[in-house]
Structure 1
Amino acid sequence: MKIIRAKDYNDMSRKAANIISAQVILKPNSVLGLATGSSPIGIYEQLIKWYNKGDVNFGECTSFNLDEYRGLTADHDQSYHYFMHKNFFDAINIPAARINLPDGAQMDIEKECERYDKAIRAAGGIDLQLLGMGLNGHIGFNEPDESFSKGTHCVDLTESTIEANKRFFESADDVPRQAYTMGVQTIMLARKIIIIVSGENKAQILRDACFGPVTPMVPASILQLHTDVSVVADDAALSLCTEKELR
């Protein structure tokens, strides 16, 4: 793991956006794995600014999102389809035909998971995967479990994840209880991974993920075994890591 220290959320966002833009500039037809939630919004804002200046071009890129709530249609204002178009896709030139997300409206779990994995394979796999990390160490919606997941699957969301996401809905009762998510194995097959972490409330789980044992009870800990991972984290998130560990 390469740990990139940032001063704050904005600095973290800019540093992560630099890595993504470099990927696209060096390989214009990159397959990008993208994430949702509050953590990557600053990254998308920075990439849009650079796109508008003509510094980066997404016209040949393909994207695959990590996850989607099961039971929400693409036009639902809390779906990840809606989120990605509002916060990124509608402001850049990535072709609509190359945008991929799990279909939350598809209730046939086996059919949808098989479709999504097949699409990722057909695209040649993911060149760069962007991740956030949950308070319990989840990546995508891969929650703490007894084993690491493989391909795309449907998960029952934990109470802590529902609690963390309820701010986006009218109440916790409105948060979907299931989601489609890329599996840990799919994430690990990405050629490059960036994981972004911000805030003091994630300091302990970040230390556990980076320097603790590799265990499915901390899903992000598996990233220790990947050959090209950049952890971009602000000072608050790194506050429990020692200087020796950070070196």
Structure 2
Amino acid sequence: MKIVVCKDYEEVSRVMAEKVVRLIQEKPNLVFCLPAGNSPIGMYRYLVKMYEEGKVDFSQIRTFDMDEYVGLAPDDPHSFIYFMHKHFMDHVNINMENVDYPKADALDLDAECRRYAQAILDAGGLDIAITSIGDDGHIAFNEPDDFLLPRTHVVKMDEATRKQNAKAFADCPKGMPTHAITTGMEEHMKTKHYYVVCSGSHKAALLKKLFETEKLDPHFPVSWLRMHPNVELIIDEEAAAGIPQEVLDECR
């Protein structure tokens, strides 16, 4: 595991975008698992800027969204695919034929999960995935449990997760969904280049726990990344405050 400590969120976003661009330059048809939420917005802003400056071509990449709220149509402003269009896809030269995402309003969600998992396999697996860490230690929507599922599946979100994300649904009459579709742990663990982005002091305790946890704990899903062969943490100084200095030195 490698750790890159940046000054602040802005630098985290820039460094992460530069790493994405470098990988696309090495492999123009990169398979990219796209994250949603507040953490990657700055990265997307830099990716759009770098595209406008002619530094990157997105026309050959293939994308899969990391997760989606159950019941939301693609044109729902609260959906993650809507988020992707707003912050990224509508501003660069992505070929929409290469864009896939969980159809969370499907009548048969189990069949949709199987379709999505197979599509990832057919694409040769994920080349890059980027995630943050949920307040309960989840990655994507793989919530703490007695066991973690390997491939794309429907999950009931923990109350901690719903509380963390509730602000985004403040204007939604129906409130926040109770379930989500998420990529599974096997899909994450087989990703060739895996990144965790965190910023702010509220993430320090989670990162401290990550490096204190010696076992792979399904009740702390991010701990499984300790077994990943190529994972890199891009974090700011506040988030890194809980990591022992000897760990930072070892992982630089």
TM-score normalised to structure 1 length: 0.97
Kept in 1: contact 2:75–2:82 (CA 8 A): yes
Aligned twin of 2:200: 199
Q: Deviations over 1:181-201 (max 9, x none)?
A: 000111111111011011111
1:109–1:154: 8 Å Cα contact kept in structure 2?
A: yes
Q: How far apart in 2 are the matches of 1:80 and 1:107?
A: 19
Deviates more, 1:198-207 or 1:150-159: 198-207
Quote the offset at 1:208 in angstroms.
1.6
On the 8 A contact 2:211/2:243 being kept in 1, the answer is no
- Whether contact under 8 Å (1:35, 1:131) holds in the other structure is yes
1:207-242 Cα offsets, whole Å, 9 max, x none, are: 222442321111111111111111001111111112
Size of the aligned set, in residue pairs, is 247
Counterpart position of 2:105:
105
2:112 & 2:207 partners in 1: Cα distance?
32
Q: How does 1:11-30 map to 2 (within 5 A)?
A: 11-30=11-30
Opposite residue 77 of structure 2, the aligned amino acid is D
Query: What corresponds to 1:244 in structure 2?
Result: 246
How far, CA to CA, are the matches of 1:41 and 1:190 in structure 2?
22
Cα RMSD of the aligned pairs, angstroms, is 1.2
Partner of 1:227 in structure 2? Answer: 229
SS at 2:105 equivalent? coil
Matches of 1:44 and 1:210 in 2, distance apart?
28
Question: 2 CA distance for matches of 1:48 and 1:171?
Answer: 28
Runs in 1 of length 4+ with deviation above 3 angstroms? none
Which residue of structure 2 lines up, in the alignment, with residue 152 of structure 1?
152
In structure 1, C-alpha distance between the alignment counterparts of 2:65 and 2:207, rounded to whole Å:
22
Distance 2:182 2:113 in 1: 9
Structure 1 spans left out of the alignment, 5+ residues: none
1:188 equivalent to 2:189? Answer yes
Residues in 2 aligned to 1:220 and 1:210: alpha-carbon distance in whole angstroms: 10
State the percentage of identical aligned residues: 36
Closer, same or farther: CA 107–206 of 1 in aligned 2, 3 Å: farther
Q: Is the 8 A contact 1:151 1:183 kept in 2?
A: yes
Cross-structure match for 2:89: 89
Conserved in 2, the CA contact under 8 Å of 1:203 and 1:237? yes
Gaps of 5+ in 2: none
Please tell me the residue identity of whatever aligns with 2:224. I
CA contact (8 A) 1:208 1:218 kept: no
2:220 is aligned, of 218, 221, 224, to 218
Counterpart of 1:122 in structure 2 is 122
Q: Distance in 1 between matches of 2:176 and 2:31?
A: 30
Given that residues 207 and 239 in structure 2 are in contact (C-alpha distance below 8 angstroms), is that contact kept between their aligned partners in structure 1? yes
Classify the secondary structure of the residue corresponding to 1:135.
coil
1:41-80 matches, within 5 Å, as 41-80=41-80
Q: Deviations over 1:143-200 (max 9, x none)?
A: 1111122000000011111111111112696100000000011111111101101111
Whole-Å separation in 2 of the counterparts to 1:110 and 1:206? 33
Structure 1 letter corresponding to 2:55:
D
Q: Which amino acid aligns with 1:162?
A: R
Where 2:129 maps in the other structure, the secondary structure is: strand
Q: Does 2:157 match 1:176?
A: no
TM-score, normalization: structure 2? Answer: 0.95
Seen in structure 2, the aligned counterparts of structure 1 residues 89 and 182 have a Cα distance that, compared at 3 Å, is: same
Tell me, what secondary structure is at the counterpart of 2:186? helix
